[in-house]
Amino acid sequence: MSHSAKPVFSCTDVHVWIAEKEVVKGVDLAVSAGEIHAIMGPNGSGKSTLANALMGHPAYTLEGTVELSGEDVTSLSPDEKARRGMFLAFQYPVAVPGVTVASFLRAAVAAVRGTEVPVREFRKELLARMEDLEMDPAFAGRYLNDGFSGGEKKRLEILQLLMLKPRFALLDETDSGLDIDALKVVAEGINAAASQDVGMVLVTHYQRLLNYVRPHVVHVFMDGRIVRTGGPELALELEERGYDWLETPATAGGA
Amino acid sequence: MASPRKVADIGTDYAQRYGFHDPEEYFLRSPKGLSHEVVEAISRLKKEPEWMREFRHKALDIFLAKPMPTWGDTQMLSEINFDEITYFVRATEKQGETWDEVPENIKRTFDRLGIPEAERKFLSGVSAQYESEVVYHSVKEELTKQGVIFLDMDSGLREHEAFVREYFATVIPAADNKFSALNSAVWSGGSFIYVPKNIEVTIPLQAYFRINAERMGQFERTLIIADEGSKVHYIEGCTAPVYSSNSLHSAVVELIAKRGARIRYTTIQNWSNNIYNLVTKRAVAWEDAVVEWVDGNLGSKLTMKYPAIFLKGERAHGEVLSIAFAGPGQHQDAGAKAVHLAPNTTSKITSKSISKGTGRATYRGLVKVRKGATGCKTSVQCDALLIGEAARTDTYPTMEIAEDQVRVEHEARISKLGDEQLFYLRSRGLTDDQARLMIVNGFIEPFVKELPMEYAVELNRLIELEMEGSVG
Ligand SMILES: Nc1ncnc2c1ncn2[C@@H]1O[C@H](COP(=O)(O)OP(=O)(O)OP(=O)(O)O)[C@@H](O)[C@H]1O
Ligand SMILES: [Mg+2]
For a ligand 1 pocket test, name from A43, A60, A171, A243 the mutation site with the most ligand atoms within 8 angstroms of its C-beta. A43
**CA A55 → CA A73, B249, B290, distances in Å?**
10, 50, 51
Backbone angles phi, psi at B23, to 5 degrees: -60, -35
CB A111 within 8 A of CB B434: yes
- DSSP annotation of B80: -
The closest alpha carbon to B113, from B398, B457, B365, B436, belongs to B457
The closest alpha carbon to B355, from B278, B456, B467, belongs to B467
Per residue, what are the HEC states of B3-41?
Answer: CCCCHHHCCCCHHHHHCCCCHHHHHHHCCECCCHHHHHH
- Contact check, Cβ <8 Å, A82/B438: no
- Contact check, Cβ <8 Å, B445/A58: no
Q: Whose CA is nearest to atom 29 of ligand 1?
A: A44
End-to-end Cα separation, chain B, in angstroms: 45
- Per-residue model confidence (pLDDT) at position B58: 97
A31/A2 Cα distance (integer angstroms):
10
- Per-residue model confidence (pLDDT) at position B311: 98
The closest alpha carbon to B222, from B194, B241, B242, B196, belongs to B194
ipTM comes to 0.94
- Contact check, Cβ <8 Å, B426/A111: no
- DSSP annotation of A7: P
Question: pLDDT of B9-57, one tens digit each?
Answer: 455 565 555 555 555 555 555 567 889 988 998 899 889 999 999 999 9
Nearest chain A residue to B433 by CA: give it. Answer: A79
B148/B161 Cα distance (integer angstroms):
16
The closest alpha carbon to B238, from B466, B459, B463, belongs to B459
Q: Whose CA is nearest to atom 2 of ligand 1?
A: A18
The residues pairing with A11 across neighbouring beta strands, listed in sequence order, are A29, A66
pLDDT tens series, chain A, 255 aa: 444 568 999 999 999 999 889 999 999 999 999 999 999 999 999 999 999 999 999 999 999 999 999 999 999 999 999 999 999 999 999 999 999 999 999 999 999 999 988 999 999 999 999 999 999 999 999 999 999 999 999 999 999 999 999 999 999 999 988 899 999 999 999 999 999 999 999 999 888 888 899 999 999 999 999 999 999 888 888 888 888 887 655 444 333
Q: Where are the domains of chain A?
A: 3-94+166-246
Q: Does residue B315 or residue B245 have the better pLDDT?
A: B315
The residues pairing with A27 across neighbouring beta strands, listed in sequence order, are A14
What rounded mean pLDDT belongs to chain B? 84
Count residue pairs from A and B with Cβ separation < 8 A: 81
- DSSP annotation of A151: H
Residue B9, burial from CB neighbour count under 10 angstroms (0-12, 13-18, 19+): exposed
- DSSP annotation of B307: -
- Contact check, Cβ <8 Å, B439/A99: yes
Q: Whose CA is nearest to atom 24 of ligand 1?
A: A43
Q: Where are the domains of chain B?
A: 3-305, 420-472
| Least confidently predicted of B42-51, B62-71, B185-194, B453-462 | B453-462
pLDDT band at residue B355 under the 50/70/90 scheme:
very high
CATH fold of A3-94+166-246:
Rossmann fold (3.40.50)
Neighbours of ion ligand 2 (CB under 5 A): A 47-48, 91
Is this structure's pTM higher than 0.80?
yes
